[in-house]
């Protein structure tokens, strides 16, 4: 399919009510760039497009205009099983991501089988000057490296990021809240010693307290560690 044909198909599946809903959730994308196509439909479309031999032309046509084009692009990369090819496409696309939704929904399936090779990329992305590249890197650390792959140094990697960007700081908070749930003993000193910026520190505690994976006793203690304004 050509880009024009892809866009025609997206508008065919447009849901105006959902479009209005999406526009409120994704303030970094102008409303006129949102068509309003639901995620399951986009994922199904991406699976079909990914099988087409001429899809590379769409992947090479950056930047995209519509939010849904970016979503399709992310989902197509997510279906790529060849790790090397997946990384080429990921690195090409990351600088063009302009919203949290595309960033957070992209993680390719092949990453789970290549965590050792992926770490080198994550370390590079963590020092990027692009908001969503940093957020993506931290998201990968959160999703793939807080269980069997966990190393205490990964906590330091995230804590060392200093940013004024809301979507970076929110991911730092999300990461530490999840780390408290999965690696409580290793993570707690970062909260107890106030290693994070005050807003991020308190947001991490808030999100941790909201988690069912944190025990009542842990929640009680975490509440005492909030930084009072």
Q: Please report the pLDDT score of residue 20 as a whole number.
A: 96
Q: Give the Cα separation of 51 and 65 in Å (integer).
A: 23
Which pTM was predicted? 0.95
Q: What is the DSSP letter of 146?
A: S
What rounded mean pLDDT belongs to the chain?
A: 96
- Residue that wins the pLDDT comparison between 108 and 170: 170
Q: What is the DSSP letter of 195?
A: -
Q: Is the peptide bond before 95 cis (omega within 30 degrees of 0)?
A: no
Q: Please report the pLDDT score of residue 32 as a whole number.
A: 97
pLDDT tens by residue, 215-225: 999 999 999 99
- At which residue do the structure tokens 């200093």 appear? 162
Dihedral angle computed from the Cα positions of residues 106, 126, 115 and 47, in that order, rounded to the nearest 10 degrees: 10
Q: Please report the pLDDT score of residue 47 as a whole number.
A: 94
- Report which secondary-structure segment, H or E, holds 33: none
DSSP string, 115-154: HHHHHHHHHHHHT-SSHHHHHHHHHHHHHHSSSTT--HHH
Question: What number of other Cβ atoms are within 10 A of residue 181's Cβ?
Answer: 18
Confidence of residue 53 (pLDDT cuts 50, 70, 90): confident
Q: Please report the pLDDT score of residue 156 as a whole number.
A: 97
pLDDT tens by residue, 104-154: 999 899 999 999 999 999 999 999 999 999 999 999 999 999 999 999 999
Overall average pLDDT of the 92-113 stretch: 95
Token digits of residue 48: 């079909």
Q: Please report the pLDDT score of residue 136 as a whole number.
A: 98
Sign of CA dihedral 166, 75, 133, 209: positive
CB 123 within 8 Å of CB 153: no
Of 56, 53, 58, nearest to 9 (Cα)? Answer: 58
Of 103, 108, 62, nearest to 85 (Cα)? Answer: 108
Q: Would you say residue 229 has pLDDT above 90?
A: no
Sign of CA dihedral 174, 179, 184, 188: negative
């Amino acid at each position: 399919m050509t880009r024009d044909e892809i866009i025609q198909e997206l508008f065919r599946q447009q849901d105006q009510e959902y479009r209005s809903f999406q526009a409120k959730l994704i303030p970094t994308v102008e409303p006129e760039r949102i068509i309003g196509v639901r995620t399951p439909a986009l994922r199904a479309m991406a699976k079909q497009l990914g099988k087409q031999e001429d899809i590379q032309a769409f992947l090479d046509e950056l930047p995209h205009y519509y939010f849904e084009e970016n979503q399709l692009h992310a989902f197509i990369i997510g279906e790529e099983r060849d790790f090397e090819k997946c990384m080429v496409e990921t690195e090409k696309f990351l600088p063009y991501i302009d919203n949290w939704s595309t960033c957070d929904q992209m993680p390719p399936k092949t990453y789970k089988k290549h965590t050792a090779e992926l770490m080198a990329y994550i370390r590079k992305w963590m020092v990027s000057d692009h908001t969503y590249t940093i957020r993506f890197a931290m998201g990968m650390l959160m999703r793939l490296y807080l269980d069997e792959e966990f190393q205490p140094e990964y906590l330091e990697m995230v804590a060392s990021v200093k940013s004024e960007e809301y979507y970076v700081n929110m991911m730092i908070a999300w990461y530490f809240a999840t780390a408290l749930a999965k690696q409580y003993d290793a993570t707690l000193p970062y909260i107890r010693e106030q290693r994070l910026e005050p807003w991020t520190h308190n947001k991490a505690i808030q999100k941790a307290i909201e988690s069912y994976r944190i025990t009542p006793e842990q929640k009680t203690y975490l509440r005492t560690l909030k930084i009072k304004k």
